[in-house]
Every structure is written in structure tokens, then in C-alpha cells.
């Protein structure tokens, strides 16, 4: 069984929208397979992290769950249709075949539900650069209070953004005071769902 979910409510053009695909299967019946999620027209689909696996019971039967997370980024306004995910694999037909080594194999196919989200255009009065995030915060993690002339002083700034991925973010810039020079290091990015 395949299940999908998408962030509720309307989104804006270029806003990150959470999208999740869950595959439920009986561990003793599935040999192998491939889970695919087609990219919708008018958006990019970025997979976040590795699959998350867990166990659950449905109707008293044990199932293995594979959860795959994505960020969907719409390119244009209108109704965005996300095509259903598809699983194709091989499974064991019966428990008796598995126990006796008969191993009658069959093709396993499943399709999930398609989802949609209404996408709004970028507002005419939106500040530029456009960053359609639900929340942005900045804080200093480290900053030397009394730096000495001629010595390096390390400053670490953390930006937390809810509703955008790293590619969408503007570069953080730290201004120098007086004759000081700033030599930024490449940012360290940790994306989550």
C-alpha cells in the first residue's frame, strides 16, 4: 500500500512545500522493488535525506513502513498536480511457497494517490529577494567579545528557516567595522523535514 501526504493550504510560487510518500509492506512477502515519484509539471521535487524505516501493525498484521520525504517547489501559480508514486517489485505468492522453498515469485505493483496544492503568485509588493518562508531567525553561536588587532576573531551566525531550502536562501553577509576584514567560510547546511 502506498500513502501520500502534502502540506495543507495554499502555497506561493517558489515556496517549499512538504510532501511525503509512505510504502507499507509485509516483510515476509516482499523480495525487492523500486519506489518512484514522478516530478510534477511546473515544479521541482527535491528528495530530503534518506528513507526512514519503521514498523507498524494494521488490523493485527505487522507491516514495514518506508517513508520518503520531499520538498516540492512550485514554479508558477495555479493548481499544481503531484502525480502518484509507483512501486514495482517482486514478492512471494504464498507463505507455503516461502516455507517449502518453492519460491513462486510474482510481480508486485502499487500506485499511491495523486495530490494537489493551490499555488498563489508572488505578491506584487513582496520584498526582493523573494523568500516565501514561514519563519526566519538569526542568532550568534559564537563571537569574540574583545578581539585583538592583527588576530583572527571567529564569528558564527546561525540562520534557521522554516519553509525554504538552502538553495533559496540569500548569502549571509557580515559587515566589518573600521579596518577589519571579513573572510567568510562556506556555509554548513543541515536540511530537515
By the 8 A CB rule, do 14 and 69 touch?
no
pLDDT of residue 51: 94
Whether 99 has a pLDDT exceeding 70, the answer reads: no
pLDDT of residue 101: 56
Cell representation of residue 34? 523500486
The rounded percent of the chain whose pLDDT value lies above 70 is 92
pLDDT tier for residue 98 given thresholds of 50, 70 and 90: low
Most confidently predicted of 2-6, 105-109, 147-151 = 2-6
Q: Count other C-beta atoms under 10 Å from residue 108's C-beta.
A: 17
pLDDT of residue 4: 96
Mean local confidence (pLDDT), 42-49: 92
Mean of per-residue pLDDT scores for the chain? 85
Grid cell 559587515 in the structure block, residue: 175
Count the residues in the chain.
Answer: 193
- Which ranges constitute the DSSP H helices of the chain? 95-100
pLDDT of residue 47: 93
pTM: 0.73
Whether 66 has a pLDDT exceeding 90, the answer reads: yes
Contacts within 8 Å (CB) and 24+ apart, 118-121: 118/10, 118/11, 118/78, 118/79, 118/80, 119/10, 119/11, 119/12, 119/13, 119/74, 119/76, 119/77, 119/78, 119/79, 119/80, 120/10, 120/11, 120/12, 120/13, 120/77, 121/12, 121/13, 121/77
DSSP letter (8 states) at residue 131: -
Whether 167 has a pLDDT exceeding 80, the answer reads: no
By the 8 A CB rule, do 122 and 14 touch?
yes
Amino acid at each position: 500500500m502506498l500513502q501520500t501526504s502534502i502540506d495543507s493550504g495554499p502555497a506561493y510560487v517558489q515556496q517549499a512545500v512538504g510532501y511525503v510518500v509512505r510504502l507499507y509492506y509485509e516483510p515476509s512477502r516482499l523480495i525487492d522493488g523500486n519506489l518512484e515519484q514522478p516530478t510534477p509539471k511546473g515544479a521541482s521535487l527535491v528528495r530530503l535525506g534518506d528513507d526512514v524505516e519503521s514498523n507498524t501493525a494494521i488490523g493485527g498484521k505487522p507491516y514495514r513502513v518506508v517513508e520518503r520525504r520531499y520538498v516540492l517547489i512550485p514554479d508558477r501559480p495555479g493548481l499544481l498536480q503531484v502525480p502518484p508514486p509507483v512501486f514495482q517489485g517482486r514478492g512471494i505468492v504464498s507463505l507455503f511457497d516461502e516455507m517449502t522453498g518453492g519460491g513462486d515469485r510474482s510481480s508486485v505493483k502499487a500506485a499511491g494517490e495523486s495530490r494537489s496544492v493551490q499555488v498563489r503568485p508572488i505578491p506584487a509588493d513582496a520584498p526582493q529577494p523573494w523568500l516565501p518562508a514561514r519563519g526566519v531567525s538569526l542568532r550568534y553561536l559564537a563571537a569574540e567579545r574583545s578581539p585583538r588587532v592583527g588576530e583572527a576573531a571567529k564569528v558564527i551566525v546561525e540562520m534557521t528557516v522554516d519553509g525554504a531550502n538552502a538553495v533559496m536562501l540569500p548569502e549571509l553577509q557580515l559587515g566589518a567595522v573600521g579596518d577589519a576584514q571579513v573572510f567568510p567560510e562556506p556555509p554548513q547546511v543541515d536540511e530537515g523535514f
